[in-house]
Amino acid sequence: MEQDDEGRPVMARRGDTHTRWEIGEDWHEHPSYIEAAWCAALAGAVYQERVKRGWRQEQLAEAVGITEDQVEEIEESAVYPTPDILQRLGHAFDVNVLVVTDEPLPRLEFVGRGTDHRAA
């Protein structure tokens, strides 16, 4: 396999040309990365809470007032956590939504009402 000047493999394409992606040092600050992290945080929190309750996607959809396809989109990290969807999910699960922003990646948690949120 062909290698570059630093000994890394180079993927060759037809015509003997190649492309190498360079990722900058500030990749984690890119708006697309940040948005994807929020979508993934929502997906993980919703999936965990739904499974913990033994609910099917259909049941969650009915409780939230959305379609089953929309629940699937949420759990596939395809939905950004807007205030509207967070409030609707909180009501459906009968919990508060905790948004944690003091970590490298954003995190969402569903916590019981009356829970000391600082301990979460």
pLDDT of 82 strictly over 60: yes
Rounded mean pLDDT of 100-117?
82
Instruction: Give the CB-side neighbour count of residue 18, counting CA atoms within 13 A.
Output: 11
Q: What is the CATH number of the domain that holds 74?
A: 1.10.260.40
Q: Is 73 a member of any domain?
A: yes
pLDDT band at residue 30 using 50, 70 and 90 as cut-offs: confident
Q: Is 38 a member of any domain?
A: yes
Q: Where in the sequence is the domain holding 50, given as residue range(s)?
A: 29-114
Q: Is 108 a member of any domain?
A: yes
The total number of structural domains in the chain stands at 1
